[in-house]
């Protein structure tokens, strides 16, 4: 796994500033006030920071933005980053400021002179998240990420505040690595092996093989993988950090390691992007890692359906009818609407096995979701306002875009099949909603459920605030926050 830059907190030491190597960051308020460390830097640089302030450079900048100076005279550091941030900055601005530093940092060492920061741990988290770089397949000599040192008045308190943030960063990095990984490397088997490795953190791991799923009658999931040389799998990660016997929250992920579309094959243009079609499973795996690493006081079970959607002589054909574990028969009109087939059986299995207090599924499910919401927001569709409200609130608190779309009987009727109980596509209108209505069939009456379509946000073609282009890890922070909010009560 890509390791996050090490973060340590040290006591403020004005006399150590001149000799600090790597990059050095100081804070200035929007109205141009420097703290004691900033004033020391200013003095060492013979008034350079004061000139920036007096020259009016701050006026065009927003909170969280950075002005960088290369090879600053008077300092051993190779660059000086001046960050604009109010003294009472909230979580979001603090993280954004950190992210701006993390972006500039690259793999260099970074010393953040954080003397008067209200939320140094949040600044550090922003920096760590943005400093991610996926280099698993670059042959050039790999460098370890340079450490981030934050100087503060009370290092122990900041260290304690950062401990859960470190677990979050590790979860996000795992999700991004999985989502960025090419499909010839991250096969269904390799994914399951990665998950088995999480047992070291105290998670209970179970992997169902094709023969197990045949016995359970998972004809929908198995139909998707039957054209691939890679065996389909269902991996389960259980975290028991709450009361014994208390019903868990279930997180379910679509893990299509590559989606060619199957016999309903996709156009060649852009097909390589379908290596991210396991993004939902990537988020579930990342969150489970975070929960275990920070020893969350909650019971959560993560389930991922791992399959590859390939065209071949053994592949499912359009027109085939399969039987799901629930017993419903499904007419497969389009083999490219495969994610919902995988989720149908995993959702049913999750409910029958754990009787969860709530189910949240994540899936790169529909291109229609990108047409509706672009890359700014994922879509939420739910049968329960309370659980959906909690998910929306958690996403808002974490700055991860999420917008609710409706469900409705009329949409469900678009899935009527002439020859089976249901068909797997409902036509072009409202594609994200009809996909969700398909899943809705496999949710039992009374089980609170939220479906998150992350097709537009799991991996993006441009840098975002907290990630370089490619996999974002969208959802790990939201779900970690949700578990805190609804299971841990803090
Ligand atoms: N994995 C795709 C959806 C997708 C598209 C994710 C673009 C990320 C970016 C999904 O399996 C799919 O192919 N959906 C079809 C459904 C259609 C056949 C009803 C789609 O959206 O075109
Ligand atoms: Mn597809
Ligand atoms: Zn897909």
Q: Is the pLDDT of residue 490 over 60?
A: no
279-293 and 188-196 helices cross at what angle (nearest 10)? 10
**Closest listed ligand to the CA of 260:** 2
Ligand 1 atom nearest to CA at 431: 19
- DSSP one-letter string for 281-345: HHHHHHHHHHHHHTT-SSEEEEEEEEEEE--STTSPPTT-EEE-TTS-EEE-S-TT--HHHHHHH
Å from CA of 262 to ligand 1 middle: 12
Mean pLDDT of 474-489: 97
- DSSP one-letter string for 40-74: HHHHHTTTHHHHHHHTTGGGG--TT-EEEEES-TT
Q: What is the pLDDT of residue 423?
A: 98
Q: What is the pLDDT of residue 142?
A: 78
Å from CA of 367 to ligand 3 middle: 9
Tell me the per-residue pLDDT of 131-160, one tens digit each, with 9 for 90 and over: 999 999 999 977 889 999 999 999 999 999
**Closest listed ligand to the CA of 364:** 1
- Ligand 1 pocket check: which of 255, 258, 336 to mutate, most ligand atoms within 8 Å of Cβ? 336
CA distance 140 to 103: 21
Q: How many Cβ atoms sit within 10 Å of the Cβ of residue 16? A: 15
Å from CA of 130 to ligand 2 middle: 30
Å from CA of 316 to ligand 3 middle: 15
Mean pLDDT of 356-366: 99
| CA-closest residue to ligand 1 atom 8 | 455
Which CATH architecture group holds 7-153? 3-Layer(aba) Sandwich (3.40)
Q: Which residues line ligand 1 (CB under 6 A)?
A: 259, 277, 334, 336-339, 364-368, 425, 431, 455
The structure tokens listed for 467 are 């990630």
Residues of the chain with CATH 3.40.220.10: 7-153
Ligand 1 atom nearest to CA at 425: 19
CATH of 171-487, one of 3.40.630.10, 3.40.50.300, 3.40.50.2000, 3.50.50.60: 3.40.630.10
Q: Are strands 459-460 and 378-382 parallel, antiparallel or unpaired?
A: unpaired
- What is the helix (H) or strand (E) element at residue 93, kind and residue range? helix 91-105
Q: What is the pLDDT of residue 94?
A: 96
Residues of the chain with CATH 3.40.630.10: 171-487
Mean pLDDT of 18-33: 97
Strand order in the sheet with 7-11: 7-11, 148-152, 110-113, 23-28, 79-84, 66-70
- Ligand 1 pocket check: which of 331, 367, 423 to mutate, most ligand atoms within 8 Å of Cβ? 367
Å from CA of 79 to ligand 1 middle: 45
The structure tokens listed for 178 are 């999985």
Tell me the per-residue pLDDT of 207-249, one tens digit each, with 9 for 90 and over: 999 999 999 999 999 999 999 999 999 999 999 999 999 999 9
360 pLDDT tier (thresholds 50, 70, 90): very high
442 pLDDT tier (thresholds 50, 70, 90): very high
118 pLDDT tier (thresholds 50, 70, 90): very high
Report every protein residue that has its C-beta within 5 angstroms of ion ligand 2.
259, 336, 338
Q: Which residues, 6 or more positions from 277, have their beta carbon under 8 angstroms from its beta carbon?
A: 254, 256, 257, 258, 259, 309, 339, 364
Taking every pair of C-alpha atoms in the chain, what is the biggest distance, in angstroms? 82
- Ligand 1 pocket check: which of 280, 310, 343, 366 to mutate, most ligand atoms within 8 Å of Cβ? 366
> Which three-class secondary structure state does DSSP give residue 138?
coil
Å from CA of 224 to ligand 1 middle: 14
Q: Which residues have a catalytic role annotated?
A: 266, 340
489 pLDDT tier (thresholds 50, 70, 90): confident
**Closest listed ligand to the CA of 458:** 1
Q: What is the mean pLDDT of the chain?
A: 97
The structure tokens listed for 13 are 């030491």
């Amino acid at each position: 796994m890509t390791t996050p830059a090490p973060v340590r907190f040290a006591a403020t030491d004005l006399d150590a500033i001149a000799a600090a190597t790597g990059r050095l960051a100081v804070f200035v308020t929007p109205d141009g006030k420097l703290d004691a460390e900033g004033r020391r830097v200013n003095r060492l640089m013979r008034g350079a920071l004061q000139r920036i302030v007096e020259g009016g450079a701050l006026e065009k900048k927003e909170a969280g933005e950075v002005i960088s100076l290369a090879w600053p005279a008077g300092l051993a550091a190779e660059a000086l980053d001046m960050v604009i941030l109010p003294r009472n900055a909230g979580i979001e601005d603090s993280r954004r400021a950190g992210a701006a530093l993390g972006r500039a940092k690259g793999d260099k060492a970074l010393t953040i002179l954080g003397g008067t920061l209200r939320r140094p741990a949040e600044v550090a988290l922003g920096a760590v998240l943005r400093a991610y770089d996926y280099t698993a397949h670059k042959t050039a000599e790999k460098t370890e990420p340079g450490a981030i040192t934050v100087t503060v008045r009370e290092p122990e308190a900041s260290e304690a505040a950062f401990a859960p943030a470190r677990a979050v960063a590790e979860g996000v990095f795992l999700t991004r690595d999985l989502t960025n990984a090419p499909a010839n490397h991250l096969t269904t088997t390799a994914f399951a092996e990665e998950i088995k490795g999480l047992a070291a953190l105290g998670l209970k791991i179970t992997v169902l093989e094709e023969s197990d799923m045949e016995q359970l009658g998972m004809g929908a999931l198995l139909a998707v993988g039957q054209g691939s040389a890679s065996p389909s799998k269902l991996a389960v990660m259980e975290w028991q950090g709450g009361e014994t016997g208390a019903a868990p929250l279930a997180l379910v992920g679509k893990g299509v390691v590559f989606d060619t579309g199957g016999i309903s094959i996709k156009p060649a243009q852009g097909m390589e992007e379908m290596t991210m079609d396991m993004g939902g499973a990537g988020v579930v795996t990342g969150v489970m890692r975070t929960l275990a690493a920070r020893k969350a006081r909650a019971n959560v079970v993560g389930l991922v359906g791992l399959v590859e959607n390939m065209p071949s002589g053994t592949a499912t054909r359009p027109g085939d009818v399969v039987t799901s574990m629930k017993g419903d028969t499904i007419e497969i009109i389009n083999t490219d609407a495969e994610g919902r087939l995988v989720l149908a059986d995993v959702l049913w299995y999750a409910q029958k096995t754990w009787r969860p207090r709530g189910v949240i599924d994540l899936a790169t499910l529909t291109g229609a979701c990108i047409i509706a919401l672009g890359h700014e927001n994922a879509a939420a569709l739910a049968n329960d306002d309370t659980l959906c409200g909690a998910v929306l609130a958690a996403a808002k608190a974490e700055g991860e875009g999420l917008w609710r779309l409706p469900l409705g009987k009329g949409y469900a009727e678009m899935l009527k099949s002439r020859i089976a109980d249901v068909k797997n596509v409902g036509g072009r209108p409202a594609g994200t909603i009809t996909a969700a209505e398909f899943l809705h069939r496999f949710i039992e009456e009374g089980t609170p459920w939220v479906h998150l379509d992350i097709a537009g946000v799991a991996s993006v073609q441009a840098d975002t605030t907290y990630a370089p282009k490619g996999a974002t890890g969208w959802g790990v922070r939201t779900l970690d926050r949700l578990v805190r909010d609804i299971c841990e009560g803090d």
